[in-house]
Structure 1
Amino acid sequence: MDFTGFIFSSMSQDLNNLREMFKALNKSCFILGASGETGKVLLREIVQSRIFTKVTLIGRRKLTFEDAARENVSQEVVDFEKLDEYASAFQGHDVGFCCLGTTKAKAGEGQVEAAIEELNFDRYSIFRPGVLMCDRQESRPMEWMARKLLVPVASLFPTAITTPVLVLVKAMLNNVILPSENKMELFHNKHIHELSKLGETET
């Protein structure tokens, strides 16, 4: 999918109106991977924006939150090795977010994503960001050092090889609001940065 600056500019003009219309639809969503860096930011933005009336976290264990606003979020505990036995946890939602890690060890070589695809959603989007810029709690020393070295690059060339987690999350949420006739959408790093800026007021 090749987006041009003109197309994104046109979309940006209507995004705020679309967001309010989306809220009025009383949509629900689930989040896979809410304990990770991307999932945490996504949950925070969803709770603050209130674009969904029902939010369910699906994971291996229940999470605890200090923020009272997150206490009303529903949680479902599942065994990812037997995901077909937990179909009911995914049912009854309009939108699903998968924020699981991309390493083979953590993501099960894409098995979770494949299982979600089998649920036959009308539309699904794949985001391929650059190096995610965040203070990951479980970072290996080399990963931590690599991100620090990439800070100057991110400052000079923000869309080159890095993606701040908040930028990725904003792109994901903006994409949900925007209507599309495509069953599958693929967003690379440059498009993620552009999509995240829709609806922002220029100063």
Structure 2
Amino acid sequence: MPGLWWFSISVLVVFVAVLYQLENSPSVEPPRMANDFNTKEEDYKKLNKSCFILGATGETGQELLKEIIHRQLFSKITVIGRRKLPLEDEAYKDVVQEVVDFDKLDDSAAAFQGHDVGFCCLGTTKAKSGEAGFIRVDHDYVLKSAQLAKAGGCKHFNLESSKGADKGSSFLYLRVKGEVEAEVGELDFERYTIFRPAVLLCDRKESRPTEWMTRKVLAPIAYMFPSALSVPVKVLAKAMVNNVVLQSDQKAELLENKAIHMLGNMEKTKG
């Protein structure tokens, strides 16, 4: 028993050390911080840009739509989905809703025309949709939407991906995420931003027992090491909007979890 006790302590120490390293390591792609963020945001509003959101029924998409409405950043906001959302609040009265059949997206090409910025938050799981269904949503729908957006004049495409995405991965989820990242990149948008969040902390409306348990386990870890293994969905949504305001000279951006935290919490430091 003493040997087992010491082994457990050793594993815990190593685990904490790894979390500390993740928390304090520099971001691979640090976001461009700006002391005059408020001015930049006001200047961006004056450009009268339009945007669309894919996946607005999901947790990230819902928070993103809420954040965009709150910030009044775009002159026109379009939600593209398979069904209309019950947007009854007065703040949402000008949101345009385009209902499409994702299996026949070519028939709805007009819905993707005339937008400056696109946000793609489409996604499902293998457990919910099966392997074929997961690939269809997270790869086929995403790629086809990006193609139509590019053809429709979209300049800046934002893709919600996943931490660890890698087209060479042996894990289906990470491989598909990595493949679609690369293929959307080949479309040559003027600006292409990939967000790779870790575990999303949110209260899902749909029941996903494994994710629920993961969030419960991660809660104390997230308190001590907020950017190591997780990110609140509200922080991700803010990061996506803040990144649009902080216009970049980079044609392609890859924002990992720590950079997402930095961008999403800018309002705490922007004076």
Q: Do both proteins adopt the same fold according to a TM-score greater than 0.5, normalized to the shorter chain?
A: yes
Query: How many Å apart are 1:166 and its aligned residue?
Result: 0.8
RMSD over equivalenced CA pairs, Å:
2.0
1:181 aligns to what?
249
Conserved? CA contact 1:12–1:199, under 8 Å:
no
Task: Give unpaired runs (5+ residues) of structure 1.
Answer: none
Instruction: Please give the per-residue CA displacement for 1:52-72, whole angstroms capped at 9, x wherever unaligned.
Output: 111000000111123121122
State the number of aligned residues: 199
Query: How many Å apart are 1:17 and its aligned residue?
Result: 1.3
Conserved? CA contact 1:134–1:164, under 8 Å:
yes
Conserved? CA contact 2:54–2:80, under 8 Å:
yes
After TM superposition, the structure 1 stretch with the greater mean CA deviation from structure 2, 191-200 or 68-77, is 191-200
- Out of 201, 207, 212, which is 1:139 matched to? 207
Which one has a bigger Cα radius of gyration?
A: 2
- Out of 52, 55, 66, which is 1:33 matched to? 55
The yes-or-no answer on 1:72 pairing with 2:94 is yes
Distance 1:76 1:147 in 2: 33
Conserved? CA contact 1:13–1:199, under 8 Å:
no
Query: How many Å apart are 1:14 and its aligned residue?
Result: 2.6
Q: How does 1:18-97 map to 2 (within 5 A)?
A: 18-97=40-119
1:124 aligns to what?
192
2:144 aligns to what?
115
Distance 2:240 2:270 in 1: 21
Distance 1:202 1:187 in 2: 20
TM-score with structure 1 length normalisation?
A: 0.90
Instruction: Please give the per-residue CA displacement for 1:77-116, whole angstroms capped at 9, x wherever unaligned.
Output: 1111121222210111111111112535356241222224
Task: Give unpaired runs (5+ residues) of structure 2.
Answer: 1-26, 127-132, 151-186
Higher relative contact order (CA closer than 8 Å, sequence separation 6+): 1
TM-score with structure 2 length normalisation?
A: 0.68
- Out of 227, 238, 253, which is 1:159 matched to? 227
**One-letter amino acid of the counterpart of residue 249, structure 2:** E
